[in-house]
Amino acid sequence: MMHHGFKRYIGLATLVLILALVTLGTASAQPSPIHPTFPLLDENGVNVLESGNPVSVMKTCGGCHDADLIESHSFHSQVGLNHMYPAGQAPSGRPWDTSKGLFGLWDPITYRYLSPLGDKTIDLTTADWIKVYGSHHAGGGPAVTSREGLPLKDLPVSADNPETSTVNPETGKLEAWDWKKSGAVEDNCFLCHMPDPNNEARIETLEKGEFGWASTATLLGTGIVLPKADGEGMTYNKDAFDDQGNLKKDVLPLQSPSSDNCGQCHGKVQTDVTTALTYADFSDADWTTQRTGQIFSGQRISDSALNIAGKSKLKRSWDVHAERNLKCTDCHYAINNPAYYEPPKELNPKHLTFEPRRPDIADYLQKPLHEFARGAVTKDEVGATFTESMRRCESCHDYKSTHTWLPYEDRHAQKLSCEACHIPTMHATAIQQNDWTVINKEGKGVLTYRGVGGDGNPRNPNNLMAGYNPILLPRYDTEGNAKLAPFNLVSSWYWVYGDPARPVRQMDLKKAFFDNQGDYKAEIIAAFDTNGDRRLSAAELRIDNDAKENAVRAQLEALGLANPRIQAEVQPYSISHNATWGQYSTRDCKSCHSDDSRVSQSLLLASYTPGGVTPALVGDVNMEATGDLVPGAHGELYYQPSTAKEGLYLPGHDRVKWIDWLGILMMLGVFAGVFVHGGLRIIASAHNAATHHGRTRKLYLYTFYERLWHWTQALAIIMLILTGTVIHRPDLFGAFDLGAMVPVHNALGFLLLFNAFFALFYFLAGHTVQQFLPEPKGFFHQALQQAMFYGRGIFKGEPHPFEKNEKRKMNPLQQMTYLVILNVLLPLQIITGILIWGAQRWPALSDAIGGLRYIAPFHTLIAWSFAAFVIMHMYLTTTGHTPLAAVEGMITGWEEVEVEEDDHSNEITV
């Protein structure tokens, strides 16, 4: 029974064999020229030519390499086995998860789950898990060793033990599984180290439960192993071996893993860029591509044969690193590979910039750790220790030298991952919503894709692929720093039952939805078929009302499942591949610094919410979802990120509304005051023909430096207000280049600061500072007197209450105002300005007082006050002897001032 069905291989394998023999020696990939020939051994160490048994990779490769070390230090093998948790205690938070890897961590998209030991109802036993998930498992780990750490083959065979049994798909009952007969799935070196492993044959062998033959099946097509003529099992081809029983040279080329090897499980990889990418190249086994849209290919998107929106203009490659000839292993290298390994800088003593001590190449080849360097992926799987062990963008790229055009480049780097700008758009489709509350005719949950139009089928060439903009969310690095990074959010809805909860098995869902003929049950049709055509359309096959939910629940309860209920979760997938270069990256300031900011762009989570259940973020992720779930008008659900909750303040995007309103009110008030007061003055002067014409004289009131100081300050403040307005509301002033305004604003700010320092020195050193200081004695009375003049006297043409002279250039109200402006507002504005400017170099400083979220609005508020002051000040200069006397005075130094009647010091100072 084990070799049944091998006939299907014959045609294909013979063809592949011929092709392989023809192309031998001109193989496209570069096999290692130094790998010696070797015999293929079975698990007893006997040459397979003699025994005819399956190849044991551990024995064959283990002849030279430390196969045990490789298998035990490889998360591709262990997939969580070495970090198992009791059910309910796994960090992901799901009660049925038992690890952080493929063996025990549930993926609601593939849905089948490894039942925790002790469960009465079993979805997947260990053997079933291999049949379902072995396609994405390198072998070894849980396919060889039990959860207790014993060889599976040594376990006493018992139908009661999920490690030595299988679920009968017909009855749902456990049946004994004899590992000795099936063999275990050894860590499969061939799968990753051969140029063209036969993964299809390997997977088919696994699905049939012929575990021991999986590694051997990987060799089908090389000519080493052939399907038996009668179609039952495999036999070895003596022609591929030399007289000593070793494989002939070049029959089995071995190499460092190519990107194609990695792509077999991880996602769509295309290394031959001369052939257009087509729909036929994709499959549901491309997990990463299916979940995020990432495609590792150096081909220009415009050269693909996919129906992509705006394709002809997309001259960028799918992935700039693939285009520039990087392989997966260039970043995800084995962490003791001496060619790549470098200890993290912080582990080096301060005086060392390079650590030359590393494994010898021979040591490495014997004991290559198969823990691969990796980045900060969201799903913290089994290699947590190695998170961020790989080279990050910054390890290779000099950010500074290529971002000189970007103002505040440090600040941007503190808050943004490289990917945030360099992966602006995913041009392929990705899963949006995964609904297992219902099943389709194939017995699977309903997947909805984002980034595709038409009927929503991502493989239908008639559907335009518009792609999607990944959402930017704070992602934590190992040091706990949050940077915005691109994500896809996939939300899943599914039924659970019992306590502790377990997902309803796919088998039970089928029983609940289908009758014996595999058609939807009458009860299901009755509840779901809204248009009465006895068929369930895609729009009908979703739980969007209580009747549907109750109908399914009744069916599940009828199966004996206690308290069936709908649960939902959101799984974030971080996106680090498919980066592009500058031209195609987000680089326009206003992409983020505007109302319509990329940073706060929402993402459609789901077009409907089955059972009205709101999904929650899964546990154990290295990112934060502080935003809000916002329901749409038609039952859809959006995720809306919030810069405020992410602790960000984006100039141009973020502002405190009440401050702007207050500022506008302040300005309106000043304008109203000026108009009323000025208007009354004009009316009064017309009535008061006999205005007070006191004697006047010209005084040299302002020295050259004082005037220079004043006008520098005036001009600086006005220009600061103008540039600041553009920075505050770039959306209203589209004509101005935000990127240019910011450095100009900063320069003006420093100009203002230096101007203030020089002036302070001037007035202190020249002992003229007292002109700014109000005399405490009688100050209140005098201020009142001045106010009365502005309120009444000025209309009657009365003289100014205080004579202006060299000693006393300002009235008490002026003194008070300037004291506040120059000693409170100006310093505050300069300090807050410096803090905002310094957020780039000394972020701790601004963070210490709450960060830009508080400082920036405060800066805005003071700016409004300055604007109001400037208007008021300009108006009040007209209240001198003549409307322009004061302005003239500040320009020439000479001002014509009124002389008090009883003043006898009549000397004209020239």
Partner 1 sequence: MLHKNKNWIIGILITLIIFGIPIALVAIPRAASQKIDNPRANLPQHPVPTDHSGFFADADFKTGQEVTEACLACHPDAGKEMLKNNHFTWTHKYDISEVPGVHDNVLGLGDEVLTGKKYVLNNFCITVKPNWPACTACHAGYGWADDAFNFDDPNNIDCLACHDNTGYYVKAKTGVPAKSVDLVDIAKHVGNPTRLNCGTCHFRGGGGDAVKHGDLDNSLINPTRELDVHMGGEDMVCTDCHRAEHHVMKGRSISVSLDDENQAHCTDCHSQTPHQDDRLDMHTRTVACQTCHIPTFARKEATKTYWDWSQAGKDLPITNPHEYLKIKGKFVYERDVVPTYAWYNGVVADRYLIGDKFDPSKELALNPPAGDINDPNAKIFPFKVHHATQPYDKQYDILLTPHTFGPGGYWSDFDWDKALRAGAEAFGLPYSGDYGFARTAMYWPTTHMVAPKEDALQCNACHTPDGSPGRLDWKALGYEGDPMIYGSRKINLETANANPGGQQ
d(CA 475, CA 864): 36
The reply on whether position 744 binds partner 1 by CB under 8 A is: yes
Q: Provide, rounded to whole angstroms, the least separation between the CB of residue 549 and partner 1.
A: 52
- Contact residue for partner 1 among 248, 249, 300, 565 (CB under 8 A): 300
**Which CB sits closer to partner 1, 446 or 890?**
890
Within residues 132-171, the interface with partner 1 by CB under 8 A covers none
- Contact residue for partner 1 among 295, 716, 852, 862 (CB under 8 A): 716
The reply on whether position 578 binds partner 1 by CB under 8 A is: no
**Which CB sits closer to partner 1, 325 or 353?**
325
Give the residue among 55, 68, 69, 138 at the shortest CA–CA distance from 103.
138
DSSP letter assigned to residue 789: I
Q: Provide, rounded to whole angstroms, the least separation between the CB of residue 399 and partner 1.
A: 14
- Contact residue for partner 1 among 275, 481, 892, 909 (CB under 8 A): 892
The reply on whether position 29 binds partner 1 by CB under 8 A is: yes
The reply on whether position 444 binds partner 1 by CB under 8 A is: no
Stretch that binds partner 1, among 25-33, 40-48, 112-120, 506-514 (CB under 8 A): 25-33
Number of residues that bind partner 1 (CB under 8 A): 40
d(CA 382, CA 535): 44
The alpha carbon of 566 is separated from its chain's Cα centroid by a whole number of angstroms, namely 28
Q: Provide, rounded to whole angstroms, the least separation between the CB of residue 325 and partner 1.
A: 5
Q: Provide, rounded to whole angstroms, the least separation between the CB of residue 230 and partner 1.
A: 38
Tokens of 9: 């291989």
Q: Provide, rounded to whole angstroms, the least separation between the CB of residue 332 and partner 1.
A: 14
The DSSP-derived string for 353-408 is: S-------HHHHHHS--BPBPB---SS--TTGGGBT-S--HHHH--HHHH-TTSTT
3-state secondary structure of 594: coil
The DSSP-derived string for 22-84 is: HHTTS-SS---TTPPP-B-B-TTS-BHHHH-PPP-HHHHHTTTS-HHHHHHTBHHHHTTGGG-
Decide if 456 contacts 323 (C-beta within 8 A).
no
The reply on whether position 721 binds partner 1 by CB under 8 A is: no
**Which CB sits closer to partner 1, 324 or 534?**
324
Q: Give all strands (DSSP E) within 194-291, no chain letters.
A: 225-227, 234-236, 269-270
**Which CB sits closer to partner 1, 646 or 706?**
706
d(CA 353, CA 342): 10
The reply on whether position 666 binds partner 1 by CB under 8 A is: no
Decide if 95 contacts 166 (C-beta within 8 A).
no
Per-residue interface string for the shown chain with partner 1, residues 693-712, x marking contact by CB under 8 A = --------------xx--xx
- Contact residue for partner 1 among 154, 207, 250, 272 (CB under 8 A): 272
**Which CB sits closer to partner 1, 294 or 600?**
294
Question: For residue 676, how many other CB atoms are within 10 A of its CB?
Answer: 10
From residue 824, alpha-carbon distances to 416, 478, 758, 775, 816 in Å are 35, 43, 17, 19, 11
Question: For residue 261, how many other CB atoms are within 10 A of its CB?
Answer: 25
Per-residue interface string for the shown chain with partner 1, residues 301-330, x marking contact by CB under 8 A = --------------x-x----xxxxxx---
The alpha carbon of 677 is separated from its chain's Cα centroid by a whole number of angstroms, namely 57
**Which CB sits closer to partner 1, 258 or 378?**
258
**Which CB sits closer to partner 1, 268 or 511?**
268
Q: Provide, rounded to whole angstroms, the least separation between the CB of residue 145 and partner 1.
A: 34
The reply on whether position 739 binds partner 1 by CB under 8 A is: yes
The reply on whether position 258 binds partner 1 by CB under 8 A is: yes
The DSSP-derived string for 516-543 is: TTSSBPHHHHHHH-SSSSSS--TTTSS-
End-to-end CA separation in angstroms for the chain: 121
Stretch that binds partner 1, among 24-32, 414-422, 668-676, 692-700 (CB under 8 A): 24-32
Stretch that binds partner 1, among 499-507, 620-628, 715-723, 790-798 (CB under 8 A): 715-723
**Which CB sits closer to partner 1, 253 or 774?**
253
Q: Provide, rounded to whole angstroms, the least separation between the CB of residue 153 and partner 1.
A: 38
Decide if 109 contacts 431 (C-beta within 8 A).
yes
Question: What residue has token string 């898990």?
Answer: 129
582: Cβ contacts below 8 Å, ≥ 6 apart: 402
Stretch that binds partner 1, among 254-262, 531-539, 773-781, 876-884 (CB under 8 A): 254-262
**Which CB sits closer to partner 1, 20 or 891?**
891
- Contact residue for partner 1 among 156, 405, 690, 910 (CB under 8 A): 405
The reply on whether position 254 binds partner 1 by CB under 8 A is: no
Phi then psi dihedrals of residue 520, to 5 deg? -60, 140
- Contact residue for partner 1 among 77, 218, 259, 463 (CB under 8 A): 259
**Which CB sits closer to partner 1, 171 or 312?**
312
Per-residue interface string for the shown chain with partner 1, residues 109-138, x marking contact by CB under 8 A = ------------------------------
Give the residue among 534, 551, 555 at the shortest CA–CA distance from 542.
551
Decide if 488 contacts 573 (C-beta within 8 A).
yes
d(CA 138, CA 149): 18
The reply on whether position 751 binds partner 1 by CB under 8 A is: yes
Stretch that binds partner 1, among 235-243, 266-274, 410-418, 654-662 (CB under 8 A): 266-274
**Which CB sits closer to partner 1, 6 or 318?**
318
Per-residue interface string for the shown chain with partner 1, residues 530-569, x marking contact by CB under 8 A = ----------------------------------------
Please work out, in degrees rounded to the nearest 5, the angle formed at the alpha carbon of residue 32 by the alpha carbons of 383 and 265.
35
Convert 372-391 to b/e letters by CB count within 10 Å (16 or more is b): bbbbbbbbbbbbeebbbbbb
- Contact residue for partner 1 among 271, 366, 460, 814 (CB under 8 A): 271
Phi then psi dihedrals of residue 61, to 5 deg? -75, -30
Q: Provide, rounded to whole angstroms, the least separation between the CB of residue 317 and partner 1.
A: 7
3-state secondary structure of 476: strand
Within residues 357-386, the interface with partner 1 by CB under 8 A covers none
The reply on whether position 20 binds partner 1 by CB under 8 A is: no
Per-residue interface string for the shown chain with partner 1, residues 446-465, x marking contact by CB under 8 A = --------------------
d(CA 680, CA 693): 19
Tokens of 737: 């280049």
Q: Provide, rounded to whole angstroms, the least separation between the CB of residue 705 and partner 1.
A: 11
Binding residues vs partner 1 (CB under 8 A): 28-30, 258-260, 271-273, 298, 300, 315, 317, 322-327, 404-405, 582, 707-708, 711-712, 715-716, 719, 739-740, 743-744, 746-748, 750-751, 891-892
